[in-house]
Structure 1
Amino acid sequence: MTQPANKWRAVCLLAMVASWPAFGQASALNGGPNTGGNGFKVGDGRLHATFDFETRYDSAAGYFPPPGNTDPNVVSDQLSGEALLHIRPGLRLELPGSKVSLNLMGHADYVHYTGLFTPGSTNTSHLEGLADLNLSFNKEGQVGVELMNHFQRSDRTRSVAIGAGVLSLFNEVRLHVPIRPGGGALEVTPQLAWGVELFQPLGALAPVGCGGPECDPALVDRFNYSDLRAGLNGRWRFLPKTAVVADVHVNLRNYTNGDSPNALVLQAKAGLAGLVTPKIAVTATMGWGQNLGEAVGGTLLAQLEASYLMSPTTTLKAGYARTLEPVAAFGQFRDDRGYLEGQALLGGRLTLRATTAFDYLSFQGDRRDTLFKLDVGPQYQFQKWLIGGAGYLLGTRASTATGGGINYSRHEGYVRMTVTY
């Protein structure tokens, strides 16, 4: 083994040891206690610098040369496990205001494949990142404007037809114009969004046994798309805690490469949302989705969700949803999804969180996929500027189509520390 590889292995082990005290006391840092930190004063707001360090084991990290392989042109058709390092420096800007408010957050994420479990994995180390912008005008007025942008580069794609081992570059800009005539009991929001997602493989070689574009580096760019969405969302609060809700939108999906059929999906649904009791909130909607593009098809849309406030700091949510979405190669797919989420804040510092979901995907044609996800873990706020986390994620996928990238079980465990100034 070369000296650089040994050096990175030593760094990885030291990092795991250094982060270990947080294990069992913290989890994924999405939500939970306020990260605090004084930051730098910018007008009426604050600019915060953040640094996030994570060690993670991923049992399906990617496709790498098989053990003992001497041919650099051969890659295993099985996803292999690896220990990863995530190094995420970032910034967060908060400028509150009744007339104009701005929230901006983002980070760069260097993902280093250590080679501890699969020596040939280090060449797939890469840069990921995320940035979110939310700019609001006249939030409390009768007519407001919200401009949002979401950018992400990640190995977790939005295309359900593609399996593991693929990098996604995604950007979406959204415009909302909330209109609140009278006292605000009625709110109508015209919406417009435009998104683009581009794909590239994590490795340069197709795994042995690959038989389709979902795992072939030469074909994965066939899933690249541009998505334009326009719609109207409405809410009428006819009782103090109950409202009629409605949503109508049209989705125009164009694919920049390959011969995937473009899609024009119209969705409309309506229902009720409100409190059944002081502790139970329910949302129930129903409607129809129809693809008016080349791959014609339609289905019933529905959502039934209930939230239970067990205590002021403990919530439980369960629900079922059916959606219709466009996708490359197949034209469209229907997703029947059941989910369960729970979160509890203990002592003002310790957050316990668990989410699970089951998806049954029905693609246009004969392909059917099932997905199961479980994400559990605690999170602990040591100081206003220091949060530690740990967690476990389980993801399983089974498909009537062949290929290791869409038929696998994925186990992930991580330890994370975040500093915010």
Structure 2
Amino acid sequence: MKQQPGKFWGGWGVLALLALGGTATAQDSVAAPASGGNGIKVGSGRLHPYFDLETRLDSGVGYFAQPAGEAPNPSGLSTNLSGEFAMHFRPGFRLEVPSSKLALNLAGNLDYVLYTGLMTPDSGAASYLAGAADLLARLNPDAPLSLEVSDQFVRSDRTRTAAIGAGVLSLFNEARVRLPWRPGGGAVELTPGAAYAVEFFQPLGATNPVDCTEGVCDPLTADRFDYGNLRFGLEGRWRFLPKTAVVLDTGVDLRSYFNDGSPDATLLRAMMGVAGLVSPRVAVTAKAGWGQNLAATGGGTFIAQLEGTYLFSPTMTFKGGYLRTLEPVAAYGLFTDNRGYGEVRALLGGKLGLHAGGAVDFLGFTGERTDTLISLDAGPEYQFRPWLSGAAGYTLSSRSSSVAGGGLNYTRHEGYVRLSVTY
């Protein structure tokens, strides 16, 4: 299968990372290793450069030319996802500057994903440049009224748009501003905020997957789903007991698409509930509400979240929950997600960390399309030295859809080993 080199997007990805100053915060997009060594002193904080070397055995890199012995296919492509041995070269940094006036958290990395061609000869052309960057700046973080400005940038092959199939590179950026207000003694907290996000798509390959009959599974036309999303929200918390609070979560998303092919949405969501400790070891969050599309296409549904965390010991926690939400999405306008999830984390001997987590998502799109997603992630991580850590693990990603197409129906197994050096 021929591949597009992606040099144009790769160059812009580097420029965007540099323009953002290698940003980062407590977001999942930048998985920087724990700060080790002494770092480089920057004001009252320290800068910690790091380098990750990761090897990954991936069973689902993409659809390539048919191997010898497989039944002929008119497209000339294999009907099965091809596996490959990939290398990740990931330089990055983390900067934390604590301050009672202006606290900064920055992090960023570049990730060159090299498909070695050891398992699938034509896969090397699919190698690409990814990256992530986050910024969080907090003005007067300890004052009754503070200001938070943040930005998140991600370029990867894991898109945030649920309707689109595999084989797509996503360039995502979201800028946010929040105003936490804690009047009086802090029993009441109100946080208005606004955010603007954009996501652009590029095909990872130059041909569409096998059996793809609709545009949502064709990476060659994914750029017609490029979008902008403006969100206004208000979060509230009233601590009426020392360890229990009433919580409020409201917001409206104004979703518009830069190209034709998807209905715009004006999605209002509001949930209210309680969060707190049931016992010294058990914390529970329970919220319920409604989501409604105020645009011409309409649509609304009940939304809710129930989550519990159990502190088995000071070094082991269990978390599980259920989430039902309504989200804007390309091609269909809206989709509902019924998600069950759970995870366990443990720290043994102060150096060996263990984690295991999984989730099942039942997606229902406007119309008749339904998808089921299953994900698993488990593995250990060990701190050999303050500046040297290692990790290994296994991830499973499985998707089945009522819409035909290889990009929407697949099972992907990934095993990885990672070594991280941090100054």
The two structures share one fold, judged by TM-score above 0.5? yes
Separation (CA, whole Å) in 2 of partners of 1:215 and 1:31: 29
1:280-299 equivalences in 2 (<5 Å): 280-299=282-301
- Give the superposition deviation at 1:61: 1.1
One-letter code of the match for 2:37? G
Inter-partner Cα distance in structure 1 for 2:286 and 2:252: 21
The Cα offsets for residues 149-197 of structure 1, whole Å up to 9 and x where unpaired, read as 1100000110111121111000001111000100111000001010000
Question: Per-residue displacement from partner, 1:220-271 (whole Å, max 9, x unpaired)?
Answer: 1122110100010000001000000001100010111122100000000100
Say if 2:144 is the partner of 1:142: yes
Alignment partners' CA distance in 1, 2:44 and 2:221: 50
Task: Decide whether the 8 Å contact of 1:79 with 1:405 is kept in 2.
Answer: no
CA contact (8 A) 2:202 2:220 kept: no
Q: CA deviation at 1:79?
A: 2.0
Give 3-state SS (helix, strand or coil) of 1:405's partner: coil
Q: Which of 98, 116, 119 lines up with 1:117 in the alignment?
A: 119
Secondary structure of the residue aligned to 2:223 is helix
Shift of 1:78: 3.2
Tell me if structure 1 keeps the 8 A contact 2:235–2:248. yes
Cα offset, 1:386, TM superposition: 0.6
Q: Is 1:58–1:82's contact at 8 Å kept on the other side of the alignment?
A: yes
Query: Which residue of the partner structure matches residue 53 of structure 2?
Result: 53
In the other structure, the counterpart of 1:12 is none
Alpha-carbon separation, structure 2, partners of 1:340 and 1:317: 5
- Paired residues for 1:350-369 under 5 Å: 350-369=352-371
Q: Does 1:322 align with 2:324?
A: yes
Query: Distance between the aligned counterparts of 2:413 and 2:222, measured in 1?
Result: 25
Contact between 1:295 and 1:332, CA under 8 Å: does it hold in 2?
no
Find the partner of 1:192 among 194, 197, 222.
194
Q: Separation in 1 of the partners of 2:85 and 2:260?
A: 35
The offset of 1:375, in angstroms, is 0.3
Structure 1 CA distance for aligned equivalents of residues 210 and 352 of structure 2: 46
Q: After superposition, what is the alpha-carbon deviation per residue over 1:286-314, rounded to whole angstroms, capped at 9, x for unaligned?
A: 00000112321100011111100000111
Check whether the contact 2:209–2:407 (CA below 8 A) recurs between aligned residues.
no
Amino acid at match of 1:65: A
- Partners in 2 of 1:176 and 1:383 — Cα distance? 38
Matches within 5 A, 1:351-390: 351-390=353-392
Q: Deviations over 1:83-121 (max 9, x none)?
A: 100000112111111111101100000000111111010
Distance in 2 between residues matched to 1:220 and 1:29, nearest whole Å:
22
Check whether the contact 1:32–1:379 (CA below 8 A) recurs between aligned residues: no
CA RMSD of aligned residues (A): 1.9
Distance (Å, rounded) in 1 between the aligned partners of 2:82 and 2:202: 19
Residues 218-237 of structure 1 correspond to what in structure 2 (within 5 A)?
218-237=220-239
The TM-score, its normalising length taken from structure 2, stands at 0.90
Partners of 1:63 and 1:156 lie apart in 2 by 17
For residues 131 and 410 of structure 2, the distance between their equivalents in structure 1, rounded to whole angstroms, comes to 26
Q: 2: distance between equivalents of 1:31 and 1:311? A: 25
Alignment of 1:384-403 (within 5 A): 384-403=386-405
Counterparts of 1:12-411 in structure 2, within 5 Å, are: 34-68=34-68, 74-411=76-413
- State percent identity of aligned pairs: 59
Unaligned ranges ≥5, structure 1: 1-27
Structure 2 distance, partners of 1:50, 1:195, is 28
Aligned residue for 1:219, secondary structure, equals helix
Q: Which moved more, 1:214-223 or 1:99-108?
A: 214-223
Contact 1:33 1:349 in 2 (8 A): no
Q: Are 1:222 and 1:328, in contact at CA under 8 Å, matched by a contact in 2?
A: no
Give 1:224's aligned amino acid: D
User: Residue 48 of structure 2: SS of its match in structure 1?
Assistant: strand
Q: Which residue of 1 aligns with 2:417?
A: 415
Which deviations, in whole Å up to 9, do the C-alpha atoms of 1:96-147 show, x marking residues without a partner? 1111110110000000011111101000111000001110011110100111
CA contact (8 A) 2:46 2:97 kept: yes
Deviation at 1:213, TM superposition (A): 1.8
Deviation at 1:33, TM superposition (A): 8.3
SS in 2 for 1:211: coil
In structure 2, distance between residues paired with 1:235 and 1:248? 12
Cα deviation, 1:50-108, whole Å, max 9, x if unaligned, reads 1000000111111222225999x854453211110000011211111111110110000
Distance 2:32 2:86 in 1: 25
Structure 2, gaps ≥5 residues long: 1-27
More deviation in 73-82 or 131-140? 73-82
Q: What stretches of structure 1 move > 4 A for 4+ residues in a row? A: 28-33, 68-71
RCO (CA 8 Å, sep 6+): is it higher in 1 or 2?
1
1:139 and 1:366 map into 2 onto residues whose CA distance is 47
Please state whether the residue corresponding to 2:122 is helix, strand or coil. Answer: helix
